[in-house]
Structure 1
Amino acid sequence: MATPNLFGETSDWRKSILSQLQNRNRQECQPFNDLIALHNRLFESAAALRTENRELFVENETLRRQSLERLPRNSLSDGKPNDRVQALEQKLLMQQEELTELHRRKGENAQQIIDLNKKLQEKEKQLNALEISLKDSLTVSSTLRLDTQLYQNKIKELENLLQLLRDEHQALQLTCASLEEKLRKTQEENNTLVERLIRYKSKDAEKMNEENENFVRKRQAKLQKELEEAAKDTRPTSPDKLGEGAATVLENTLPTKLSTKIDSHEGEVHAVKWSPVDRIVATGGADRKVKLWDVSKVGQYESKGTLVGSSGAIMSVDFDCTGCFVLGASSDFASRVWTVSDLRLRVRILIHVGCIILAVWVSSLELNYL
């Protein structure tokens, strides 16, 4: 029966093995067929000669008796045998020699048959061993065929899974490309909005700057007018009777005595601001630091901490209305907010406007978002 091999082809391996075994038996047994036939013929010839020998022996004995009975007594006394008897004896001797030779050949043939039987038994053992090995090989072959089929099924499953993963990977790539495109568009929109916000903030800052300049000019004009009126009035007047403008003039008069001198910064000092709730002074300088000083004791000062984080010189400082936050505007076009309690940087605002005006404007917001 033809069975498909691993490559899908058909092979009559059973017929092939059977034909190989028949050829081997034919090659190993055919040389001994003539010998066995010769042995059989010799055995039959020996049996026939043995029978003939017995018959001749009986005939010889009969002839001898008859010859002895027929011979005259004088011939018996002479002791000369008959020629026929001598011929028969010679023939008998030859047949005995031939029988002996046949016995010898029979023994040799018997020995050869014994040897051939031993070889035949050995060949049968080898044949049995080969048959057992063939059965084992067939069992292993069937097992391997089943394993091969199983592995082929696994390969097909893995190929299907790989194709599925490829499809999922392609879908994810398409999704990723779509998301990247959305991200790019979102970033562009964000940049546009940031630019618009910066423009709006710049306009608001410029407007606030104009309002502050107008306020400063009005205040200076008012002070100038009050000073001129005060200069015209030469009568002595107590501070209680003076108006608000005159009190302001008295407060802004030049000091006559140095109360406290603070060595606050390593370089120039650009900004100074009083806290609205405590006797704390905030100073900012060219060393990129904002320092807090406690001046509650007359003639003495104590450092309350240093606010760091600016990458440019501090140009303006300001407190919020509660005195909890300090705003510093620096020359790097950024404003920063620190907390007074723990001296930590909380907010960094980057706006391309003037730093001093920015400090005043952010201070007017009172930092409610904090």
Structure 2
Amino acid sequence: MQRPGGDSGTGWKLHILRQLGHRDRQQHSAYRELVQSYNKLLEKSTFLKDLTEKIQSEPPPTSPGSHHDARSQSEAVAESGDIPALQKEMSAVQSANGELAFEACELKKQVQERDDQLKEQSTRVANLLDLAEGHQLQRQCLEEEVVLVVCANAELKERYDHLLSQRRLVEERLQETEVEQREILEDMTKKKALQAAQQNDLNERRKEEMWRRMLRKALRKTVSAEGDFVSNQSDDSHDTRSLEMSGSVELEKPLARQTRSQSLIAISPSRVLGVLKNFFDFRKEQPEFVGEDSWYRPSSVCVLCSLPTRALYSKEIHDSEIHAVRFSPNAKLVATGGADRLVKLWDVVGGQLQSHQVLEGSNGGITSIEFDAWGVQLLAASFDCSAHLWRLDTRSKESLTGHSKKVTAARFKMSPYRAVTCSMDRTIREWDLHKLACIRCVQVSSYCSDVVCSESYLVSGHHDKKIRFWDSRSERCIREVTLEEKVTSLYMDQDQIQMLSCSRDDTLSLIDMRMAHILRVFRADGFKCGCDWTKAILSPDTGYVMAGSADGTIFVWNAHTGALERSLNGEHSTSVNAVAWSMSGEYVVSVDRGRKAVLWSEY
């Protein structure tokens, strides 16, 4: 209820009292006139009633005196008028008296009703006064709370102003620091670019010198269409004669079905030097003993990859979905692994996959497969919280245990006796394969989905949308690349210059390993990453990018332009989990959730 009496505490009470007094005065004046009229009528009625009773009750006079009185009365009546007139007047008076009595009763009833209403209103006024008093107390409490809140707001405003000034100072410092960091980064980038250019020039000169020496040696050998070198069994005179032959390399008759990577006939003279380099690098004899600290850098023998166009072989080869596929370095074996806990080896013969060997011993599904540089060892990651190492020459098996959750990837490092694994337990572990012991453990902040190794650092892909570069000699993260969605796989080329990542935003990203920035992003209408372990690859000549989609289609992009070159469909009806490209560039194998493997080729 709003208080009309101003801000003082008693104003509203005075106002109510004034209103009640005004109402009493109005009603009292009306009742006073009514009561006065009623009293007058009542007095007249009583007088007439007494007079009538007195007249009716008095006997006629008998004595002379009474006769004299009666005579006097009759004379008085005669003087005042005749009796009928008086009787009429008395009847009229009695009738008016009755009406006045009825009106008096009605007025008395109305007075009683008004008294009842007045009592009700008085009770209501008392209740309202009590309610107003309660509201007044509540208002006082609220005013006290308002005062406290105003004081607290004033304190908060002071603190806010202080923090705002500090924030502005920190932002200014941050901007200055960012400017300094950009300048330092630009200087470092320029220096690194200059050093890289100088090192590249030096490397090119060294390579050219090495190729010249190797070319002089190659002039004394012949190359078959199968890629095997045959030394001429002759002395210096025969060497001299071989130099005079037309052409620096002697080719055998091509087979009925040649491929670009197996024959030098279709290669231009400008690429002969690179072909010989690749052949010689790949055909270097494997040392009888490789030390624990020895490092290798695998070399590709592929000159130019051919785009696959048709399926040569299609069959269900596992009892459940297949997660991983990998070609051996000599491109003669294919390894597949899946949820049935088996790793199966297949020979590629005449465009068919023929069973070669089955590797058992895993207690969980296989998630990834890796051959060493000579195809002698096979490393597989498993859902049984471990990685398994098979030696194909002795058919022995060892296990790397130490992870607490599923192992998502396992890779050989540049040394044949070092391996790296990553797991859902948010750790990356480095292993000594001689001792089968973990020699380093890196704790990461997110679930690791894949890992690759270079000479100087490890690279891991995570579900927090980041690719992290780790120093191979410490546990320090030296740089990060952030993508739009979580990473499903990583693939690094043979020269360790570029890396391909696949992520759940249905894109592939080609990343420069030296500068750790994205060179190109590959997308296509209809391409959809099927699961959290979908694997994408680069072709051996780094000219193409390939990945399987959730609908069973295989997409191939041009790595240099980003354009979609080809899409292969019709064979897979479920999501393609992984693809592999042979080192010769001739074959591609794809595997899917429906237990099927498909062998693709250009011919």
When the two structures are superposed, what TM-score results if normalisation uses the length of structure 2? 0.35
C-alpha contact 1:280 1:295 (8 A) present in aligned 2 = no
Matched with 2:260 is: 263
C-alpha contact 2:41 2:100 (8 A) present in aligned 1 = yes
Q: Structure 1: state its 5+ residue gaps.
A: 68-81, 224-236, 240-248, 306-319, 330-334, 339-343, 352-370
Matched with 1:281 is: 300
C-alpha contact 1:337 1:348 (8 A) present in aligned 2 = yes
Matched with 2:75 is: 87
Matched with 2:34 is: 32
Structure 1 residues 194 and 90, CA gap change in structure 2 (3 angstroms) = same
Matched with 2:498 is: 336
**1:113 corresponds to 2:278:** no
**1:125 partner amino acid:** D
- CA RMSD for the aligned pairs? 5.9
C-alpha contact 2:261 2:302 (8 A) present in aligned 1 = yes
Matched with 1:314 is: none
Structure 1 residues 182 and 285, CA gap change in structure 2 (3 angstroms) = farther
**1:263 partner amino acid:** R
**1:134 corresponds to 2:133:** no
C-alpha contact 1:277 1:322 (8 A) present in aligned 2 = no
Aligned ranges 1:28-177 → 2 under 5 Å: 28-39=30-41, 41-42=43-44, 45-46=47-48, 49=51, 60-63=61-64, 86-87=74-75, 90=78, 97=87, 103-149=94-140, 152=143, 170-177=161-168
State the alpha-carbon separation in 1 of the partners of residues 331 and 17 from structure 2.
Answer: 118
State the alpha-carbon separation in 1 of the partners of residues 129 and 187 from structure 2.
Answer: 85
Q: 2:330 aligns with which of 258, 273, 294?
A: 294
Structure 1 residues 213 and 13, CA gap change in structure 2 (3 angstroms) = closer
**1:23 partner amino acid:** R
State the alpha-carbon separation in 2 of the partners of residues 127 and 322 from structure 1.
Answer: 109
Deviation at 1:121, TM superposition (A): 1.0
Larger Rg: 1
Secondary structure of 2:7's match? Answer: coil
State the alpha-carbon separation in 2 of the partners of residues 58 and 111 from structure 1.
Answer: 33
**1:8 partner amino acid:** D
State the alpha-carbon separation in 1 of the partners of residues 23 and 209 from structure 2.
Answer: 130
**Larger relative contact order (C-alpha < 8 A, sep ≥ 6)?**
2
C-alpha contact 2:498 2:512 (8 A) present in aligned 1 = yes
Structure 1 residues 90 and 159, CA gap change in structure 2 (3 angstroms) = same
Secondary structure of 2:261's match? Answer: coil
State the alpha-carbon separation in 2 of the partners of residues 105 and 177 from structure 1.
Answer: 100
Superposed CA deviations along residues 233-257 of structure 1, whole A, max 9, x for unmatched, are: xxxx979xxxxxxxxx9xxx95444
**1:198 corresponds to 2:189:** yes
Structure 1 residues 7 and 150, CA gap change in structure 2 (3 angstroms) = farther
Deviation at 1:26, TM superposition (A): 2.2
State the alpha-carbon separation in 2 of the partners of residues 86 and 201 from structure 1.
Answer: 156
Superposed CA deviations along residues 247-288 of structure 1, whole A, max 9, x for unmatched, are: xx9xxx95444499761399986955325676963446699x
Structure 1 residues 61 and 47, CA gap change in structure 2 (3 angstroms) = farther
Superposed CA deviations along residues 171-221 of structure 1, whole A, max 9, x for unmatched, are: 554444344333323322222222332343345446546766886899899
Secondary structure of 1:26's match? Answer: helix
State the alpha-carbon separation in 2 of the partners of residues 151 and 46 from structure 1.
Answer: 71
Deviation at 1:139, TM superposition (A): 3.7
Q: Aligned pairs, how many? A: 285
**1:183 corresponds to 2:171:** no
Matched with 2:7 is: 8
**2:25 partner amino acid:** N
C-alpha contact 2:300 2:494 (8 A) present in aligned 1 = no
Superposed CA deviations along residues 57-95 of structure 1, whole A, max 9, x for unmatched, are: 67944336667xxxxxxxxxxxxxx97585267479759
C-alpha contact 2:45 2:97 (8 A) present in aligned 1 = yes
Superposed CA deviations along residues 279-298 of structure 1, whole A, max 9, x for unmatched, are: 963446699xxx9962899x
State the alpha-carbon separation in 1 of the partners of residues 193 and 73 from structure 2.
Answer: 166
State the alpha-carbon separation in 2 of the partners of residues 286 and 189 from structure 1.
Answer: 46
Matched with 1:348 is: 513
Aligned ranges 1:226-237 → 2 under 5 Å: none
C-alpha contact 1:264 1:283 (8 A) present in aligned 2 = yes
When the two structures are superposed, what TM-score results if normalisation uses the length of structure 1? 0.51
**1:264 partner amino acid:** S
Deviation at 1:137, TM superposition (A): 3.1
**2:513 partner amino acid:** R
Superposed CA deviations along residues 308-364 of structure 1, whole A, max 9, x for unmatched, are: xxxxxxxxxxxx9758856538xxxxx3369xxxxx98961149xxxxxxxxxxxxx
Structure 1 residues 259 and 13, CA gap change in structure 2 (3 angstroms) = farther
Structure 1 residues 286 and 43, CA gap change in structure 2 (3 angstroms) = same
**2:119 partner amino acid:** N
State the alpha-carbon separation in 2 of the partners of residues 38 and 337 from structure 1.
Answer: 122
Structure 1 residues 60 and 193, CA gap change in structure 2 (3 angstroms) = same
Deviation at 1:40, TM superposition (A): 5.3
Deviation at 1:117, TM superposition (A): 1.2
Structure 1 residues 258 and 181, CA gap change in structure 2 (3 angstroms) = farther
Secondary structure of 1:132's match? Answer: helix
Matched with 1:79 is: none
State the alpha-carbon separation in 1 of the partners of residues 46 and 208 from structure 2.
Answer: 161
